Structure 1
Amino acid sequence: MRWSHLSAQPGDGSLPDRAAPAAPPLPLALPGATVRRFDTPGFAGMTFYEIHAKSLINRVPGASRVPFEWTVNPYRGCSHACTYCLAGDTPILLADGSTRPLAQIRPGDAVMGTMGAGAHRRCVPTTVLDHWETSKPAFRVTLADGTRLVASGDHRFLTDRGWRHVSPAEPHQPALAVGDLMFGVGHFAEPPKESPDYQSGFVCGLIRGDASGSGVAVEGDAWVRADAYLDDVSLTEAVRWPELPSSDWFRGFLAGAFGAVGRTDRLAVVLESTDVGYLRWIVHALTHLGLVARGPGPVRPGATGRVETERHLDAALRFRHLTGASMGPLDASGVGVRGERRLAVADIEELGLTLPLFDISTGTGDFIADGVVSHNCFARKTHTYLDLDAGHDFDSRVLVKVNAGELIRRELADPRWAGAPIAMGTNVDVYQRAEGRYRLMPKILAALRDHANPFSILTKGTLILRDLDLLRQAAEVTRVGLAVSVGFVDETVWRSAEPGTPSPGRRLEVVRRLTDAGFAVNVLMAPILPGLTDTDESIDETVAAIAAAGAVGVTPLALHLRPGAREWFASWIGREHPHLRPRYRELYGNGSYLPRAYQDEIAARVRMATRRHGLHRPSAPAADHRPAGDAPAARPVHDQPTLL
């Protein structure tokens, strides 16, 4: 039988303080178990099944990815109980430097995101993970440079004061204000219209550049375009210098000139020719379009002169977008973005309309919209073995091995037991709220101390501080590893995702107290929730708080959704964050683990944050108790153990 190592507790008629017999039907695997409910508010709606287990120290299945072999779980089940949009025509910066309206973006597209923290953010290419449409009350945000952004009230933009909601619904959410400096590169220029003037300018720039003898021109898209334009414009007329060139002509001229004599030097656009007059027309065109031109300077007869634009991302983008030149992908990776006066918020206006709005989610958690940076529990399967479901039952029906203390002492004394390290808290939290009533851990710790058996504990509960004296005593005779789980410090997410657990702040206080007691405490930054706590802002804020609490290391673990947990979490996401459902389907498919590329990206971003906050040094996994110098190799981040 699946649970043959469990047996029902003999009914002795005794009840813990303020307990009353409960009436729900017993799971089929637990016939005769003593069933209790408590009338204290903290356990309202919960049922506890008290049983006498036949064994407590369990071997981890060989196929498991976790880095330990033996565990102790005195409980099964856990008493912890653990949309932003823009208008569809908003241009989004793609990874190659071009733009596309938000409504036309699709999952899999490569766009430009950012990484970093505070005032130090840099561009990085990232992938669109999801795209959705909704209808919401709309607001218009106007910037000093004339940029107008139509967004929902809950949409967030990055400013010099951090991420700010346009018009937050909750009082604790930071609000965008007039005067805030948005981070970005400036308003994206409208692409050129291929008018007759544009076509004439293009042909002029291409043919005159080719005739300059610079040797730069190549056969390609520019000549294909020119051939098509000559169906509509006269070659003779096109190559003449116009007396009053229009803006369209200047745009086309620069696009043609780039096709003939242009190249890119990272962010700069460089145009070279032996014809000084031609170069002066290039300078004239750049200046007319608001781009700063350098050169050509004095050029000796027959020598090649040079004109180039500023080596700034906004200049590189403006040239591309204004001219429509056929250019290779823009290499902007690593280029910094910052808050600027021209991107200061000038006005925030409620439009009084409900409009169709769109949003995307990306690998970095952000994207660049019209020139500004824009934002966009899990040990449940074992419960199904007891004929309990892995959703509500996991949170409300808890199996308690009331003989755990006596049982582990007997098993540790068995001559066949070799004293291997034991990991606790790896399936369900041994310091969940129920431990405050049942007090199983003091007897377990005392037995481990008396047998000098190495052990580790992973918890997100504050009850571990109750047993601090026992932990100190055990540490005097054996290796004790302590780790606290703090996946994020956003209290809004905490209230929704882990409502029965201590707050992140209280868990960090546990880290401080254990550190002050002389323990080297690691923090498992788990679980990191895609779309909710995987942004650079969330990661940096969490790592900073962990470092301030005195932890010696951070191990990031993204959310693992094995069967049972997956179904429960899908229901929670659908209820609390329905816009994320497609993204989770895309990321997880029918599996339990996130794609390795996503996990590697998360690991790299956490590693960057640990460097910034002084935590970048090797730390052993929570369950490692081997002597110094004999530690195992670090387990790859993509091996996601199930943690609560």
Structure 2
Amino acid sequence: MKHETTYLRGARSFVAGRFETLAREPFDDGWTPEESDAAELQTSVTEERARSIISRNDSPDIGFSQSINPYRGCEHGCIYCVHGDTPVLMADCSVRRIADIHPGDLIYGTAREGWYRRYVKSRVLAHWSVIKPAYRIALEDGTELIAGPDHRFLTERGWKFVTGTEQGQARRPHLTTGNKMMGVGAFAHAPVKSEDYRLGYLCGVIRGDGHLASHRFRRGNGAIGTLHQFRLALCDVEALLRVQDYLREWRIDTQHFVFQQAAAGRRLLHAIRTQRKPSVDEIHALIAWPMVASREWSAGFLAGIYDAEGSYSEGCLRISNTDHEIIAWIDRCLKSFDFRFVVEHVPRETSKPIDVVRLTGGLREHLR
């Protein structure tokens, strides 16, 4: 089967850059058939309403910081490349292989502000692949990266290429043993969604934002009846469907409905519910506090309570609740994973006081 490759402008030619240490020339050994490119890219010109004609850069291999450039984009393949399996941090804090990223996706990058670099959300403008020699970089924490020789990494001493020498024509800043990579470090492994994890998740999300109760009422004929109710309403439909799937594993069926229509100042809320007594009784049993919380249950509980009561904005991850018992369990579970956090008590005049659990340690801790 022929493998179709889409070539960008300069990626196929491999024009030697001024930092290249190797010279290459084509040689026909008779093994490669002459085939025309099936997927040539055409240049497109689009009107760009730019705010400024001045382009700025902070690249160490460019001898100026500003230039006049009326164009957006370029006609050559970038020399910076990594292996397709390299994980990339997305703007929603999920992780995706670089090979699976597409133009338009939002990822985390860095921006320089004075003497500091801060994490910022950046939009992917282009994506392509090349075939070229690569190097394996092994880090102290066991992480291994595969990158081209001209790829640059941000270290404690600035940007450095993968390869280089201390003298001669190939001299340039390059990685050496002992350099410290700047960033969030190795990404945490996703927890195994075992039965204990799913029970912890149900406990966190239902105790955090669910309604689970039985009410006695008087019927029209004077008889006393009991109404059993379970309802969970969330803005996050993905989390709501996850709860519905987990409950089905214990043979608990729920109905999905719109709890609140979107309006001025109000978000659309979806919900699930059941009024069957056996189902309500089973949910009560499922979300009971454990005698001993396993790591899997604790991870699930933290995920569930975050989906119900958590928020992430302006670089702060918080979980809020008015129930002291829930706050105590959040405290216990976070400590079991050595998270750094603070609990802030917020008094309120017109409603119950609320406790806010806030993670400290920046993005590195948030990604765990």
Instruction: Check if 1:289 corresponds to 2:337.
Output: yes
Question: What pairs with 1:238-253 in structure 2 (closer than 5 Å)?
Answer: 238-253=286-301
Matches within 5 A, 1:189-268: 189-210=188-209, 218-221=234-237, 222-233=239-250, 235-268=283-316
Q: Deviations over 1:336-357 (max 9, x none)?
A: xxxxxxxxxxxxxxxxxxxxxx
Residue in structure 2 matched with residue 92 of structure 1 by the alignment: 88
2: CA distance between counterparts of 1:161 and 1:248? 40
Check whether the contact 1:212–1:273 (CA below 8 A) recurs between aligned residues: no
Count of paired positions: 234
Equivalent in the alignment of 1:129: 125
Which residue of 2 is the match for residue 106 of structure 1? 102
Report sequence identity in percent.
Answer: 39
Aligned to 2:149: 153
Give per-residue Cα distances to partners, 1:416-464, cap 9 Å, x unaligned: xxxxxxxxxxxxxxxxxxxxxxxxxxxxxxxxxxxxxxxxxxxxxxxxx
Match of 2:10 in 1: none
What are the Cα deviations for residues 334-379 of structure 1, in whole angstroms up to 9, with x where unaligned? xxxxxxxxxxxxxxxxxxxxxxxxxxxxxxxxxxxxxxxxxxxxxx
Note the 1:203-602 alignment, pairs <5 A: 203-210=202-209, 218-221=234-237, 222-233=239-250, 235-295=283-343, 303-310=353-360, 312-318=362-368
Structure 1 residues not aligned, in runs of 5+: 1-82, 319-644
Change (3 A) 1:270 1:117: closer
SS in 1 for 2:164: coil
Aligned to 1:178: 177
**Partner residue of 2:164?**
168
Alignment match, 2:41? none
CA displacement at 1:312 relative to structure 2? 1.7
* Corresponding residue SS for 1:249: helix
Residue identity opposite 1:290 in structure 2: D
Residues 513-558 of structure 1, C-alpha deviation per residue, up to 9 Å, x if partnerless?
xxxxxxxxxxxxxxxxxxxxxxxxxxxxxxxxxxxxxxxxxxxxxx
Whether the aligned pair in 1 keeps the contact of 2:346 and 2:353 (CA below 8 Å) is no
When normalised by structure 1's length, the TM-score is: 0.33
Residues 1:172 and 1:148: Cα distance change in structure 2 (over 3 Å): same
Q: Specify the code of the residue in structure 2 equivalent to 1:156.
A: R
Q: For structure 1, which segment, 145-154 or 182-191, has the greater mean C-alpha deviation from structure 2 after superposition?
A: 145-154
Q: Which stretch of the first structure deviates more once superposed, 175-184 or 134-143?
A: 134-143
Per-residue deviation, 1:307: 1.6
- How far residue 136 of structure 1 moved from its aligned partner, in angstroms, is 4.2
**Residue 245 of structure 1, CA deviation:** 3.1
Q: Tell me if the contact between 2:233 and 2:240 (Cα under 8 Å) persists in the aligned partners.
A: no
- Letter paired with 2:307: G
SS at match of 1:107: coil
- Which stretches in structure 2 are left out of the alignment for 5+ residues? 1-78, 213-231, 251-281
1:240–1:138: structure 2 CA closer, same or farther, 3 Å change rule? farther
User: 1:231 deviation in Å?
Assistant: 1.3
More helix by share: 1
Distance (whole Å) between structure 1 residues aligned to residue 177 and residue 114 of structure 2: 20
**Are the structure 2 counterparts of residues 135 and 289 from structure 1 closer, same or farther at C-alpha, using a change threshold of 3 Å?**
farther
Q: Which has the higher contact order (CA 8 A, sep 6+)?
A: 1
Once residues 159 and 179 of structure 2 are traced to their aligned partners in structure 1, the CA distance between those partners, rounded to angstroms, is 11
- Counterpart of 2:86, as a letter, is T
1:313 Cα deviation after fit:
2.3
1:194, distance to aligned residue in structure 2 (A):
3.1
CA RMSD of aligned residues (A): 3.3
Residue of structure 1 equivalent to 2:58: none
Which structure's CA Rg is the greater one? 1
CA deviation after TM superposition for structure 1 residue 137, in Å:
4.3
TM-score w.r.t. length of structure 2: 0.55
Contact 1:196–1:232 (8 Å) recurs in 2: no
CA distance in 2, matches of 1:111, 1:192: 22
Contact 1:267 / 1:311 at 8 angstroms: preserved in 2? no
Contact 2:205 2:305 in 1 (8 A): yes
**Letter of the aligned partner of 1:253 in structure 2?**
F
Q: Which amino acid letter does the alignment assign opposite residue 230 of structure 1?
A: L
